[in-house]
């Protein structure tokens, strides 16, 4: 997915001279072409994320589009106050892109996991929060992000993620993508953990349980209509996310259900159980360990249908 | 700088001090010491150095000025109001319910380039503006006024290193160097000495001047950059609380509030000063 993002960004930067890339010494093997093609629109601030974010804000204040880009938590939590005070308060056209959302860097340990990012980023006024699940969503949402004038948090995957969509899609800020329709339970997800949701829904179908499967790639603003439809047209809602259970996509869906008066639907969140991930392993294994596996989704769906 | 300009700057500094004292007293707020310490710098900057226009505050070729020590924002607000960026009456709406002016500087006010309040934010943003100006072929300059406290922040030093690395000579950092901070003397908390040498070692061109002699302030900012291909730093040695005898060089006036009696005494001193 990071390759898809960088390729699309490069293609946009070739058309749009306002695009700058502001880094903090991360991006090896991916950002070199941008740096070589646009040396005067590229800067490596060194390992200094606060400065990276401030510089990006200053660049954007001059009418440009500034991309900050790093892995996992580095361009969000380390420089949160710069994002809040500088980027969001000034509604600056800064795009904060992370590579390796969730536990993509599983074996590297908790310093390299981004599992609180969605809650924190969506709490910031003016911030749009996007989380593509595969290459098709990455490309479509990169386009949507770059057309949008304002701060965006873009939670990208890492590498080798399977395609969940059959081909290119259209995506918009505030939208969602239905991958499968069904009347049993709606399974919502955001981001690359959708691979488990899709496999679970496919397997449930073979058992005669037809679920609706929806990628909530735009977490803020969120597709309220899709959530209301799920509550009124299907028998329950499961939300799967690779994030702490506090404040993430599941919370966002629950907020809509209650606010819109459709909260009487059976509902289950599958998320990290508010613990620090002390186990060591790859992303797929870590997902299983923390309740985000295929069987967890299947079990949750069946429990709602009882 | 001729005598007329000097007199004008003196008078503007006096008015800024009077406004700040009244604003802080009325709002029952603090940071008066920090405001008074830069009250001689801002008038020179805004009347003789910066290319800005109160009638066209967003003109594209304006020099960018970021006040990184946003807690002293009332001094900038008073300067802008006196120069016509917004009505003087707005100063009555400082630090109050439904007021126009917040305790820390906000870009929602005409003439304020950037909002600050938490230290260590100004110089990184100024770096971004300087980088963009270079890339876009623009000739305007970028200024950032920092405090002792700003120079405690790691983010400020991250920006100092980056600016030197990229030779942004369209960037000037001013330091309101009063050597006091919230809880005491800077040398007892984070000793910045020798700041000039530190900045030079970090690749900046730097000079150190008296921040209350307006002729000197003008002359130190008249010919920028101080050195081609280097960012410039002008360190102004200042006195926290300058102009009010009982405040001068007393860190307690970082937060201290003004009673009616103290306001009267302070105003008398400022109004009667030569």
Mean pLDDT of B15-42: 97
List residues of chain A with CB under 8 Å from any CB of chain B. Answer: 20, 22, 40-41, 43, 45-46, 48, 50-51, 53-64, 66, 81-82, 85-86, 89-90
How confident is the model over A248-262, as a mean pLDDT?
98
Give the model's confidence band at B254: pLDDT under 50 very low, under 70 low, under 90 confident, else very high.
confident
Tell which of A16, A21, A45, A55 to mutate to test the B interface (max B CBs under 10 Å): A55
A124-159: pLDDT as tens digits: 999 999 999 999 999 999 999 999 999 999 999 999
CA of A50: which chain B residue's CA is closest? B155
Residue A195 tokens read as 């691979």
Question: Residue B55 sits in a domain of what CATH number?
Answer: 3.40.50.970
Determine the pLDDT at residue A181: 98
Confidence grade of residue B220 (pLDDT, cut at 50, 70, 90): very high
Chains A, B: CB contacts within 8 A come to 95
Residue that has been written with the tokens 């707020």 in this structure: B29
* Tokens of residue A58, six digits: 């200053």
What ipTM did this prediction achieve?
0.96
pLDDT single digits (tens) A16-52: 999 999 999 999 999 999 999 999 999 999 999 999 9
pTM: 0.97
Residues from chain A that touch B158, judged by Cβ atoms under 8 A, are 45-46, 48, 50-51
What percent of chain B clears pLDDT 70, i.e. is strictly above it? Answer: 100
A109 conformational bin, left if phi > 0, alpha if psi -120 to 50, beta if neither: left
For chain B, give the mean pLDDT.
97
Q: Which residues of B touch A93 (CB under 8 A)?
A: none
CB contact under 8 A, A90 and B107: yes
Contact A132, A4 (CB under 8 A): no
Where do the domains of chain A lie, and which CATH numbers do they carry? Answer: 2-155 (3.40.50.970), 177-305 (3.40.50.920)
Closest to B125 (Cβ–Cβ): which among A43, A58, A64? A58
- What is the DSSP code (8-state) at residue A262? -
If one counts the domains in chain B, the total is 1
Residue A4 contacts residue A52 (beta carbons within 8 Å): no
CB contact under 8 A, A45 and B123: no
Q: What pLDDT does residue B255 have?
A: 87
What is the rounded distance in angstroms from the CA atom of residue A9 to the CA atom of residue B167?
A: 28
Cross-chain CB nearest to B124 (options A50, A62, A66): A50
What mean pLDDT value characterizes chain A? 97
Can you give the pLDDT at residue B256? 87
pLDDT in tens, B108-125: 999 999 999 999 999 999
Residue length of chain B? 274
Q: How confident is the model at residue B274 (pLDDT cuts 50, 70, 90)?
A: confident
CA distance B170 to B230: 8
Task: Look at residue A30 in the predicted model and tell me its pLDDT.
Answer: 92
Domain span including residue B135: 3-272
Residues of B with CB under 8 A from a CB of A: 107, 114-118, 120-121, 123-136, 138, 154-155, 158-159, 161-162, 166
pLDDT at A140: 98
Q: Residue A63: helix, strand or coil by DSSP?
A: coil
Q: Which of A62, A85, A90 sits opposite B132 (nearest CB)?
A: A62
pLDDT, tens only, B22-35: 999 999 999 999 99
């Amino acid at each position: 997915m990071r390759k898809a993002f960088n390729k699309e960004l490069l293609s946009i930067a070739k058309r749009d001279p306002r695009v700058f890339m502001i880094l903090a010494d991360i991006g090896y093997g991916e950002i070199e072409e941008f740096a070589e093609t646009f040396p005067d629109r590229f800067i490596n601030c060194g390992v200094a994320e606060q400065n990276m974010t401030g510089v990006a804000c200053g660049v954007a204040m001059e009418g440009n589009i500034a991309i900050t880009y790093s892995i996992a938590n580095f361009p969000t939590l380390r420089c949160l106050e710069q994002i809040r005070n500088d980027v969001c308060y000034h509604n600056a056209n800064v795009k904060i892109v992370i590579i390796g959302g969730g536990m993509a860097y599983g074996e590297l340990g908790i310093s390299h996991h981004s599992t609180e990012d969605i809650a924190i980023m969506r709490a910031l006024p003016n911030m749009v929060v996007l989380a593509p699940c595969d290459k098709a969503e990455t490309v479509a949402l990169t386009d949507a992000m770059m057309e949008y004038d304002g701060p965006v948090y873009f939670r990208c995957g890492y590498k080798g993620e399977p395609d969940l969509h059959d081909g290119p899609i259209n995506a918009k800020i505030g939208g969602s993508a239905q991958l499968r329709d069904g009347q049993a339970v709606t399974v919502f997800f955001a981001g690359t953990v959708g691979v488990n949701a899709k496999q679970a829904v496919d397997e449930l179908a073979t058992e005669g349980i037809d679920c609706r499967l929806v990628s909530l790639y735009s977490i803020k603003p969120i597709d309220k209509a899709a959530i209301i439809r799920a509550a009124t047209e299907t028998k329950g809602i499961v939300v799967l996310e690779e994030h702490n259970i506090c404040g993430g996509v599941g919370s966002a869906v629950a907020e809509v259900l209650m606010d819109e008066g459709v909260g009487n639907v059976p509902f289950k969140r599958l998320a990290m159980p508010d613990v620090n991930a002390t186990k060591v392993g790859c992303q797929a294994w870590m997902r299983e360990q923390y309740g985000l596996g295929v069987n967890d989704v299947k079990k949750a769906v069946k429990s709602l249908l009882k | 700088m001729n005598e007329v300009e000097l007199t004008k700057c003196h008078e503007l500094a006096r008015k800024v001090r009077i406004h700040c004292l009244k604003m802080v007293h009325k709002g029952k707020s603090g940071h008066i010491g920090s405001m008074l310490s830069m009250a001689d710098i801002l008038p020179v900057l805004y009347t003789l150095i910066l290319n800005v226009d109160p009638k066209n505050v967003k003109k594209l070729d304006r020099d960018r000025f970021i006040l990184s020590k946003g807690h002293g924002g009332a001094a900038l607000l008073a300067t802008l109001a006196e120069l016509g960026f917004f009505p003087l009456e707005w100063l009555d709406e400082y630090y109050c319910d439904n007021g126009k002016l917040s305790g820390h500087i906000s870009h929602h006010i005409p003439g304020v380039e950037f909002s600050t309040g938490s230290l260590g934010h100004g110089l990184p943003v100024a770096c971004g503006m300087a980088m963009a100006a270079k890339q876009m072929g623009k000739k305007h300059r970028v200024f950032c006024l920092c405090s002792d406290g700003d120079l405690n922040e790691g983010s400020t030093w991250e920006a100092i290193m980056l600016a030197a690395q990229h030779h942004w000579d369209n960037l000037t950092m001013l330091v309101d160097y009063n050597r006091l901070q919230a809880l005491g003397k800077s040398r007892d908390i984070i000793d910045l000495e020798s700041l000039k040498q530190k900045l030079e070692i970090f690749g900046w061109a730097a000079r150190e001047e008296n921040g209350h002699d307006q002729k000197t302030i003008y002359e130190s900012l008249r010919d920028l950059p101080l050195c081609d291909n280097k960012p410039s730093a002008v360190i102004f040695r200042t006195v926290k609380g300058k102009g009010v005898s009982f405040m001068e060089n007393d860190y307690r006036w970082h937060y201290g509030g003004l009673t009616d009696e103290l306001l009267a005494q302070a105003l008398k001193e400022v109004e009667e000063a030569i």
